[in-house]
């Protein structure tokens, strides 16, 4: 059985010969009832605070779980983003390597074509120089031949001769 402050303050002791002083007992019972009332109020306050704190604790635990879930999700997203970035980097590197190889091949082809064109130009130049030398020799020989075959004509009546 639970005692309330009212139970303590209303309690009546039976009377006996040479018993306790009833006014002292009454005063003590009043003090005990007041203390019990105060303790009951404190208990009620603490019980309410405990309920509030338990609700807050539950809310904080829920927040903590949400934060943990968010942290895990963020870590997973970051890992996924890193993996995606790595895949994209590797793809870009592969594409860049393919482009570089293609460009290198194109440049090598162009260099080969230019070398072939240069070789052909040298062949044409050499042939042209040979023809020019041939023509020069032929004209020189023709001039020599013409000079040898023509008589030395001295015109005595020529206006440029002074006597």
Distances (CA, A) of 128 to 31, 50, 121, 134: 138, 112, 10, 10
What whole-number distance in Å separates Cα of residue 11 and Cα of residue 33?
Answer: 10
Q: Report the pLDDT value the prediction gives residue 152, as an integer from 0 to 100.
A: 65
- Mean of pLDDT values over 30-59: 93
pLDDT-derived band at 139 (thresholds 50, 70, 90) equals very high
Q: In sequence order, which ranges of the chain are alpha helices (DSSP H)?
A: 5-10, 22-149
- Cα–Cα distance, 152 to 155 (Å, whole number): 9
* Residues 9, 30 contacting (CB under 8 angstroms): yes
Report the percent of the chain where pLDDT is more than 70: 91
The pTM of this model reads 0.45
Q: According to the model, what pLDDT value does residue 1 have?
A: 62
pLDDT at 37 over 60: yes
What is each CA distance from 83 to 78, 89, 90, 103, 127, in whole angstroms?
9, 10, 10, 30, 65
DSSP 15: P
**pLDDT single digits (tens) 105-124:** 999 999 999 999 999 999 99
Tell me what pLDDT residue 157 has.
56
The least confident of 5-9, 27-31, 90-94, 111-115 is 5-9
């Amino acid at each position: 059985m639970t005692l309330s402050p009212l139970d303590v303050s209303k309690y009546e002791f039976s009377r006996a010969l040479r018993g306790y002083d009833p006014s002292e007992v009454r005063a003590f019972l009043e003090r005990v009832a007041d203390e019990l009332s105060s303790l009951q109020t404190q208990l009620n306050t603490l019980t309410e605070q405990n309920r509030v704190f338990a609700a807050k604790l539950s809310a904080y635990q829920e927040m903590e779980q949400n934060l943990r879930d968010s942290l895990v999700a963020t870590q997973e997203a970051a890992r996924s983003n890193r993996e995606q970035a790595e895949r994209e980097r590797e793809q870009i590197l592969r594409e860049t390597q393919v482009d570089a190889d293609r460009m290198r091949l194109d440049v090598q082809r162009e260099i080969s074509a230019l070398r072939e064109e240069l070789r052909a130009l040298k062949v044409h130049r050499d042939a042209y120089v040979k023809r020019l030398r041939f023509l020069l020799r032929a004209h020189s020989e023709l001039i020599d031949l013409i000079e040898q075959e023509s008589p030395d004509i001295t015109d005595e009546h020529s206006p440029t001769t002074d006597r």
